[in-house]
Amino acid sequence: MLHDSTVAPLAPLAPATSFAHQPRNFTRSNLLKRRFNEVIPGGGHTYAKGDDQFPEFMAPYIVRGKGSHVWDVDGNQFVEFNAGLRSVTLGHAYAPVVEAAQRQMELGTNFGRPALLELEVAEEFLACTQAGEMVKFAKNGSDVTSAAIKLARAYTGRDLVALCQDHPFFSVDDWFMGTTPVQGGIPEATKALSLKFRYNDLPGLEALLAAHAGKVACVIMEVEKDQEPAPGYLAGVQALCRREGVILIFDEVITGFRWDNRGAQYRHGIQPDLSTFGKAIANGFSLAALTGRRELMERGGIYHPHERVFLLSTTYGAETHALAAARAVMQIYQEEPVVEKLHALGERLAVGFRQAVAQYELQPYVELLGKPCCLTYATRDQDGIPSQAMRALFLQETTRRGILCPSFVTNYSMTNDIIDQTIDSLFEVLAIYRRALDEGVENYLTGRPLKIVYRRYN
């Protein structure tokens, strides 16, 4: 029997309060782990949310979120960075977005012909992002990146895909997963169609395209991740693609509506042939977008003389409540300083984090990475080698203090006070990190180290 009678009814949830120095108990979450894994492969519907990505005995199951906070089945309250894997940029249950979606749901969510709302939100998306002349909506980032690959192949008549190996996730589909250690179920013939290049290495990309002259359909990359583009790099990639007849695809699933309303491409002044957006576009509602030049996009339509491309045809791609949520999000972004606040909060956190790192002389061992609006971090052992044990310790101690932080990605509902409380806690956490380096992590970590998602065996 899957139901575990030892899991008691949920405790009432209190309003958000200061999150530091509150005792936390994970009894119910620990009891639920078996039930989750008995009915859901991996225990979750996204590998980044899996048990192996969190401390063994401190992996909470969430029941509610509001603003910058979430509550788990034990009644524990946390401030949540990286909310919704970066998709919740405004905050959990953000009232104007929820209300817009609710109003639309009362009018119906899905019909047998396009809703007028599809046209209106498509026009508004194109005007807001200025990233293309046509747009097609879908439900997640993998949908739209894989559709972009198909479109590029159809347009060029070529098979090979060049992808940036320094950008760790483009799609769950075979064209990308075949380049990672997680290759189970992927045919060898499919793996051979994907090539890899390094970010900021323009000569390397040029050599790759020369070695496969006339065979590469597209180059797909994020505009920017942890590294800033070297001067002239993005323009050089675009010029190289144009010279070789290769379609340039920018994956803005993370950077769109975070670097700028118009994406990181606008920040750097380079517009690709195709772009993909997702995550922040609807504040956690399921929506993604493929956009780009009309000449390319219309190949997925029905009014052209070329061979048909079955581009994106998803039953739920234009669910009206998600589109209504996206419309509300775009309106908020254009009327309020969302991006500016995301950057300011992240910069405040970065300054405090680096002060704590410096105080405990941890510069070689703990590193904050990325733009202020999208901060991640690296954890290393006493030899300076990336360490999943030290990451587990860091997450154990932050979780113990009421902070969920697989990264330090901020959202619009956070305040300076929340950031300052986080910094205060980080001074305590990094003091323990220092002792663990000096005395052995095994003396401080409860449970097993974390595991990287991209591994061949469990």
DSSP-derived secondary structure for 23-66: ----HHHHHHHHHHHHHSGGGSSSGGGSGGGS-TT--PPEEEEE
Instruction: Give residue 405's pLDDT.
Output: 97
Instruction: Give residue 1's pLDDT.
Output: 34
Query: Once rounded to an integer, what is the mean pLDDT over residues 387-404?
Result: 97
Extract long-range pairs of 450-453: CB within 8 Å, 24+ residues apart. Answer: 450/52, 450/53, 450/54, 450/55, 450/388, 450/389, 450/391, 450/392, 450/395, 451/52, 451/53, 451/388, 452/388, 453/47, 453/48, 453/50, 453/53, 453/182
Cross-strand pairs, 195: 162
What mean pLDDT is reported for the chain? 94
Cross-strand pairs, 353: none
CATH architecture classification, 110-318:
3-Layer(aba) Sandwich (3.40)
Instruction: Give residue 18's pLDDT.
Output: 47
> d(Cα 24, Cα 391) in Å, to the nearest integer?
20
Return residue ranges of the chain for CATH 3.40.640.10. 110-318
pLDDT digits 0-9 by tens, 333-365: 999 999 999 999 999 999 999 999 999 999 999
Torsion of CA 264, 269, 270, 275, to 10 degrees: 40
Q: How confident is the model at residue 454 (pLDDT cuts 50, 70, 90)?
A: confident
Instruction: Give residue 15's pLDDT.
Output: 52
pTM to 2 decimals?
Answer: 0.93
Q: Are 61 and 69 in contact (CB under 8 A)?
A: no
Q: Determine the 3-state secondary structure of 302 from DSSP.
A: coil
Return residue ranges of the chain for CATH 3.90.1150.10. 27-92+338-443
pLDDT digits 0-9 by tens, 273-322: 999 999 999 999 999 999 999 999 999 999 999 999 999 999 999 999 99
Cross-strand pairs, 369: 376
Q: What is the CATH number of domain 27-92+338-443?
A: 3.90.1150.10
pLDDT digits 0-9 by tens, 8-45: 444 444 455 545 556 789 999 999 999 999 999 999 99
